[in-house]
C-alpha cells in the first residue's frame, strides 16, 4: 500500500489492461487500480474498447482505496465535466377544437360500452329466469 495516494486525488495514469467490466490503470510502477466500465465516461458504455485502448494515457480520480485488499477504485468520468442536458420543450397543446373532438370521442366510447353493459346484464338476467 502506498501512502502517497489518497481518495479524491486526481492523477495521470496509463491503461495496462482492458476487461469487459473495466480497465486497469497504472498510477505508478507499483500501484494500479480499476476503472469500472460505469466510470469510463458519462452515459452508457456498451463496449469499453470503443473508449479505451491499452497504453492510453488517462486522467483518473481515486474514488476509494481498500488498504486491506490493496485495491484502488478509479474514475475517468469524475475528471470530466458532465454534458449539459438538453431542456425538453413542453408538449404543444392541442387546438381547442381538437380537444373538444377528442373529449366527445372518448365520452361516446364510454357511453357505448355503458349501453352494452346494460344490455349484457339484461340478457344475463333473462337467461337466469329462463333456467329457473
**C-beta separation of 50 from 90 below 8 A:** no
**C-beta separation of 63 from 34 below 8 A:** no
Confidence (pLDDT) at 126: 84
The percent of residues above 90 in pLDDT, for the chain, comes to 38
Q: Which of 7-16, 28-37, 52-61, 95-104 has the lowest mean pLDDT?
A: 95-104
**C-beta separation of 36 from 21 below 8 A:** yes
Per-residue pLDDT for 74 more than 90?
yes
Q: Which residue has the cell 387546438?
A: 95
Determine whether 37 is exposed, middle or buried from the number of CB atoms within 10 Å of its CB (0-12, 13-18, 19+). buried
Give the dihedral sign, CA 31/63/44/57: negative
Give the dihedral sign, CA 104/105/106/112: positive
pTM listed for this prediction: 0.60
Give the dihedral sign, CA 12/18/23/26: negative
Q: β-strands 71-75, 22-26: how paired? A: unpaired
Mean pLDDT of 95-110: 57
Amino acid at each position: 500500500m502506498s501512502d502517497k495516494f489518497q481518495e479524491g486525488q486526481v492523477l495521470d495514469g496509463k491503461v495496462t489492461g482492458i476487461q469487459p467490466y473495466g480497465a486497469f490503470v497504472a498510477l505508478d510502477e507499483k500501484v494500479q487500480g480499476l476503472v469500472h466500465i460505469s466510470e469510463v465516461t458519462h452515459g452508457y458504455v456498451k463496449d469499453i474498447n470503443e473508449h479505451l485502448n491499452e497504453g492510453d494515457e488517462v486522467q483518473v480520480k481515486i474514488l476509494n482505496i481498500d488498504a486491506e485488499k490493496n485495491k484502488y477504485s478509479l474514475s475517468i468520468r469524475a475528471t470530466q465535466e458532465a454534458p449539459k442536458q438538453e431542456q425538453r420543450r413542453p408538449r404543444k397543446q392541442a387546438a381547442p377544437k381538437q380537444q373538444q373532438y377528442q373529449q366527445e370521442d372518448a365520452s361516446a366510447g364510454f357511453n357505448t360500452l355503458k349501453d352494452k353493459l346494460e344490455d349484457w346484464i339484461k340478457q344475463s338476467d333473462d337467461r337466469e329466469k329462463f333456467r329457473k
